[in-house]
């Protein structure tokens, strides 16, 4: 029997995630959305494309949450996307209710799944999902650092005119303007980028990483990023479904690691069949600790606002 992947939200991110998952032949896919016809149409279109990929997976669309029953992985992308001039935090009120309602359905129909949140503001939505589902932290986490790191990798490779395959990039912290791209831990073929890129230029690249989502929102005017987020969340799902033990940055609840408790923060973790199997702690220097504390404080404020809403 093939694994079952359910994607809640058949918008641009959800549809792209389904496309990537089908192309990788990761399992059967269910697209769920409240808009009648949209998940069915996109699901059928993708299903009809599977012969072109030479893959054997089933893809269906549904407006009924019962269709996610027995899912191994559930990905939540549903919510209002950012618009030009809007911060992730401004999405908090409406998306908290959406994710809360979805989480209740997941508990009913897929109580044993591993749950990956994509909806923004990401760290707050991970908090909402865990609070509602009461899943252990190993089974509910968010896609943030994978996307932020891939943007960092892209900009580094472009700056140095090298293959992205040789670039490793590392981003800590909340999925927002206070994220912490760690240049000291980012490399090209093992060489720290601090040895290859002048500090003033590196600072500019880091600023672009922090504002990567906003840059795309401003260009699109009426939408937000979807190709990279869709691919990023499937990298996480693949690590779980194939028990790959990948070390990837994800928003997870910390229980004392990095000096943080009961707060979802982006840190490197090991992803495998059990979900989040280990938090990987690294040593931060004084400046990195200062920046990390800033992002922790920002997420704390966001969670405080979330508690007031819920």
3-state secondary structure 81-134: CCCCCCCHHHHHHHHHHHHHHHHHHHHHHCCCCEEEECCCCHHHHHHHHHHHHC
Compute the distance between CA of residue 1 and CA of residue 155 in angstroms, rounded to an integer: 40
Query: pLDDT tens-digit profile of 251-269?
Result: 999 999 999 999 999 999 9
Task: Work out the angle at residue 234's Cα, subtended by the Cα atoms of residues 50 and 143, and round it to the nearest 5 degrees.
Answer: 155
Compute the distance between CA of residue 40 and CA of residue 42 in angstroms, rounded to an integer: 6
Q: Does 175 qualify as catalytic in the annotation?
A: yes
> What are the contacts of 243-249 at 24+ separation with CB within 8 A?
243/272, 243/273, 244/271, 244/272, 245/270, 245/271, 245/272, 245/277, 246/270, 246/271, 246/272, 247/271, 247/280, 248/145, 248/146, 249/144, 249/145, 249/146, 249/148, 249/149, 249/170, 249/171, 249/172
**What is the maximum span of the chain, computed from C-alpha positions, in angstroms?**
54
- Sorted by sequence, the CB contacts under 8 Å of residue 243 that are 6+ apart come out as 272, 273
Given this model, what pLDDT does residue 82 score? 66
Compute the distance between CA of residue 7 and CA of residue 3 in angstroms, rounded to an integer: 13
Task: Work out the angle at residue 33's Cα, subtended by the Cα atoms of residues 28 and 34, and round it to the nearest 5 degrees.
Answer: 150
Given this model, what pLDDT does residue 81 score? 76
Write the DSSP string, 120-183. Answer: SSHHHHHHHHHHHH---GGGEEE--HHHHHHHHHHHHHHHHT--GGGEE--EES-SSTT-EE-G
- Sorted by sequence, the CB contacts under 8 Å of residue 277 that are 6+ apart come out as 138, 245, 269, 270, 271
Residue 171 falls in which region: left (phi positive, over 0), alpha (psi -120 to 50) or beta: beta
Given this model, what pLDDT does residue 86 score? 63
Residues in the chain: 310
Compute the distance between CA of residue 220 and CA of residue 217 in angstroms, rounded to an integer: 5
pLDDT tens string, the chain, 310 residues long: the values are 899 999 999 999 999 999 999 999 999 999 999 999 999 999 999 999 999 999 999 999 999 999 999 999 999 999 987 666 666 567 788 899 999 999 999 999 999 999 999 999 999 999 999 999 999 999 999 998 999 999 999 999 999 999 999 999 999 999 888 999 999 999 999 999 999 999 999 999 999 999 999 899 899 988 889 999 999 999 999 999 999 999 999 999 999 999 999 999 999 999 999 999 999 999 999 999 999 999 999 999 999 989 888 7
SS3 37: coil
DSSP strand pairing (187-188 vs 167-168): antiparallel
The full set of domains in the chain, from first to last, is: 4-142 (3.40.50.720), 145-309 (3.90.110.10)
Query: pLDDT tens-digit profile of 1-44?
Result: 899 999 999 999 999 999 999 999 999 999 999 999 999 999 99
Q: Which is catalytic among the residues 175, 188, 212, 236?
A: 175
């Amino acid at each position: 029997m093939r694994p079952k992947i359910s994607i809640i939200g058949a918008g641009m991110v959800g549809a792209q995630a389904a496309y990537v998952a089908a192309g990788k032949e990761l399992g059967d896919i269910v697209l769920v959305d409240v808009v009648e016809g949209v998940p069915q149409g996109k699901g059928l279109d993708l299903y009809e494309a599977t012969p072109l990929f030479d893959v054997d997976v089933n893809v269906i669309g549904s407006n009924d949450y019962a269709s996610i029953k027995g899912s191994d992985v559930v990905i939540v992308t549903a919510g209002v996307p950012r618009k030009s001039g809007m911060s992730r935090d401004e999405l908090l009120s409406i998306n908290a209710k959406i994710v809360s309602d979805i989480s209740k359905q997941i508990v009913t129909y897929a109580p044993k799944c591993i749950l990956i949140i994509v909806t923004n503001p990401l760290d707050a939505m991970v908090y909402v999902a865990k609070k509602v589902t009461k899943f252990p932290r190993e089974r509910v986490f968010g896609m943030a650092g994978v996307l932020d790191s891939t943007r960092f990798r892209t900009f580094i490779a472009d700056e140095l005119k090298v293959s992205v395959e040789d670039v490793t990039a590392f981003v800590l912290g909340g999925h927002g303007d206070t994220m912490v791209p760690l240049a000291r831990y980012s490399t090209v073929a093992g060489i720290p980028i601090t040895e290859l890129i002048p500090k003033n230029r590196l600072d500019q690249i880091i600023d672009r990483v922090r504002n990567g989502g906003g840059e795309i929102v401003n260009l699109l005017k009426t939408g937000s990023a979807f190709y990279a987020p869709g691919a990023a969340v499937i990298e996480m799902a693949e690590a779980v479904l194939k028990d790959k033990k990948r070390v990837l940055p994800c928003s997870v609840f910390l229980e004392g690691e990095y000096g943080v408790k009961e707060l979802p923060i982006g840190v490197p973790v090991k992803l495998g069949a059990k979900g989040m199997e280990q938090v990987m702690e690294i040593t931060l220097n004084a400046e990195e600790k200062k920046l990390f504390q800033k992002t922790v404080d920002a997420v704390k404020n966001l969670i405080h606002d979330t508690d007031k809403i819920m």
